[in-house]
């Protein structure tokens, strides 16, 4: 657990609802959030001593508890996953989000939360490519940087 219950209740949007949960139900939400962090970042941060990472983990945990509580208690599940492309009222029309939204597997749709999780993710990084041209090939492909 990266954060204490009272810290979650202080920051959450659902403080009244979360206070009404039993200790077991609350611990299950926090456990799911911790598991999500490990699975998404590909690293177990339980032993970290870095204060910046610890602060990020606290923010990530309470935001994930909010996210999981919302997902568990959303009544209109079909629309939540489909997303709304646009809304029209009379002659007025407004596009809420692109049909090519980035929300998908492993993404919450919360930009700050996804950014923090991405920053702590360990694993494959985007490769850097470079080309070896003419004269370097003649020297046996050795490049000097």
Contact by Cβ (8 Å): 60, 37: yes
pLDDT of residue 105: 56
Distance, in Å, from the CA atom of 1 to the CA atom of 5, rounded to the nearest integer, reads 10
Whose tokens are 């490769």? That residue is: 127
Q: Which residues pair with 93 in a beta bridge?
A: 88
Residue 33: count of CB within 10 angstroms of its CB: 24
| Its pTM surpasses 0.75 | no
Cα–Cα distance, 82 to 88 (Å, whole number): 17
1: tokens are 């657990």
Q: What average pLDDT does the chain have?
A: 78
The predicted-structure confidence for 92-141, as pLDDT tens digits, reads as follows: 766 655 444 444 556 787 888 888 898 898 875 555 555 555 555 555 55
Name the residue ranges covered by the structural domains of the chain: 5-101+108-136
């Amino acid at each position: 657990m990266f954060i204490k219950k009272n810290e979650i209740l202080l920051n959450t949007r659902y403080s009244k609802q979360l206070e009404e949960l039993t200790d077991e139900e609350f611990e299950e939400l926090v456990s799911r959030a911790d598991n999500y962090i490990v699975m998404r970042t590909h690293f177990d941060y339980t032993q970290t001593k870095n204060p910046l990472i610890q602060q990020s983990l606290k923010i990530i945990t309470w935001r994930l508890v909010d996210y999981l509580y919302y997902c568990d208690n959303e009544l209109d599940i079909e629309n939540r996953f489909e997303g709304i492309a646009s809304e029209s009222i009379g002659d007025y029309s407004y596009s809420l989000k692109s049909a090519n939204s980035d929300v998908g597997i492993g993404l919450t749709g919360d930009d700050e939360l996804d950014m923090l999780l991405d920053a702590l993710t360990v694993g494959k990084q985007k490769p850097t490519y470079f080309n070896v041209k003419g004269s370097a090939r003649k020297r046996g492909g050795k490049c000097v940087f």
